[in-house]
Amino acid sequence: MSNRFSNIGDRAKTDFGGPSYWVFEAVTLNSPHVIELLCCESNMVSDSLADPEEWLGTILKFEITEQDEVCTVALTHIGLTPEMACYEICKTGWDHYIAGSLKQHLDDLGGRPNSY
């Protein structure tokens, strides 16, 4: 991310190391439990996708909970549906980044950013 989300309305641009990029705006910052980021700019470049703005208007919702000294981070990509052309690509990517790389990072194993 190009910026931190400190206040509602803060924006940041991200990419995964290629020509695609997205800009997100913080719409909910209920630290430390819920963070919601609205996709306000989308340029998803892929030979298999006709619409580079398919993420526009979707929301990344991160929910952080702790129970019995175990922290759980859940991501819901609100608006990403199986009917969307990018669904399978995105589902595979989120599985890699959240269940794989982020978990490894939080477990002090280094993570695997931009290795997908």
In a domain, 74, yes or no: yes
For 11-68, the pLDDT digits (tens) are 999 987 789 999 999 999 997 899 999 999 999 998 888 999 999 999 999 999 999 9
In a domain, 76, yes or no: yes
For 66-89, the pLDDT digits (tens) are 999 888 889 999 999 999 999 998
In a domain, 33, yes or no: yes
User: Would you state the pLDDT for residue 116?
Assistant: 46
User: Would you state the pLDDT for residue 2?
Assistant: 80
In a domain, 70, yes or no: yes
Residue 66: phi and psi, rounded to 5, are -135, 130
- Both tokens assigned to 89: 């690509």
Domain that holds residue 52: 11-106
Distances (CA, A) of 37 to 2, 46, 109: 14, 23, 27
Using CA atoms in the order 94, 98, 99, 104, what is the torsion angle rounded to 10 degrees?
A: 140
Give the global pTM: 0.87
In a domain, 4, yes or no: no
In a domain, 2, yes or no: no
CB 62 within 8 A of CB 50: no
CATH number of domain containing 42 = 3.30.530.20
For 95-116, the pLDDT digits (tens) are 888 888 888 887 887 776 665 4
In a domain, 114, yes or no: no
- Give the chain's end-to-end CA distance (angstroms, integer): 17
Q: How many domains does the chain have?
A: 1
In a domain, 67, yes or no: yes
